[in-house]
A = this chain, B = another copy of it.
Amino acid sequence: EFAKIDHGRHSRAGKPEAVFAEFKTPEEVVRIVKAQIERCGESLVTRASSEHIEAILKEFSDCDVKVNRKGRVVAIRRRLKEYSAESRPVGKVAILTAGTSDIPVAEEAAATAEFLGMEVLKFYDVGVAGIHRLIEPVKKIREAKVDAVIAIAGMEGALPSVVAGLVDRPVIAVPTSIGYGVNLNGLTTLFAMLQSCSSGVAVVNIDNGFGAAVFAYLIARTARL
């Protein structure tokens, strides 16, 4: 077999069976998903192009397939052993974006969190250029008692700093590659977030909505074990 898939990953390390589709052909993705489904009954495909999505929909017509096109995520589950919110650790995560262009990354995070059984609160386009836009989201986040906050921004990436100064939950910062000139494909945003003058912020790779959601899930899961 061309790929040694790591089927024990979820039980051993609490992480989902997932496939990063970007550098793989539709055939390769389908083959890996099939192997994962056989073992664990579920699989999550991220960075899926429409070609990947069509191939999956065609192949797994007997499964429960949930597609998030904006977030480029596909969740596949065997019908029989269907996922139910009750059967897993449940948690709550708030997802904020600074601008409207950051929404695809937010949707990658949202689709991943939902796949993992979390409740998701979305607050999009609430960046710091108009600080008053943050008042309501912060109020709701406090009331909702979320397990973690995912703050997604491009450009100067100030959102996580400001949010972490206002809430008492772990803030997972996701830099996006949105910007131009000195943005350097998100490097500037990443570095600004790592330099945050607020503590309580940790960062994942540029555009890595998936990783942020898995991390939020591990926080919530740990709280419920």
- Give the B-binding residues of A (Cβ under 8 A): 2-6, 8-9, 12-16, 18, 22-24, 28, 32, 98-101, 103, 124-133, 145, 147-148, 155-158, 161-162, 164-170, 172, 175, 177-208, 210-212, 214-215, 218-219, 221-223, 225
User: Number of copies of this chain in the oligomer?
Assistant: 8
Docked CA distance A145–B168 (Å): 23
Are B147's CB and A222's CB within 8 A?
A: yes
In the assembled complex, the CB of A170 is this many whole angstroms from the nearest CB of chain B, namely 4
- Give the residue name and chain of the B residue nearest to A126 (CB): B4
What residues on B are CB-neighbors of A2 within 8 Å?
100, 103, 124-125
Docked CA distance A207–B179 (Å): 12
- Identify 19 new A-B residue pairs, CB closer than 8 A, beyond the known A4-B124, A15-B200: A2-B100, A3-B124, A6-B130, A8-B132, A14-B168, A15-B199, A18-B199, A99-B197, A128-B165, A129-B161, A131-B166, A147-B222, A156-B193, A170-B218, A170-B222, A188-B195, A189-B192, A194-B205, A201-B215
Docked CA distance A208–B79 (Å): 45
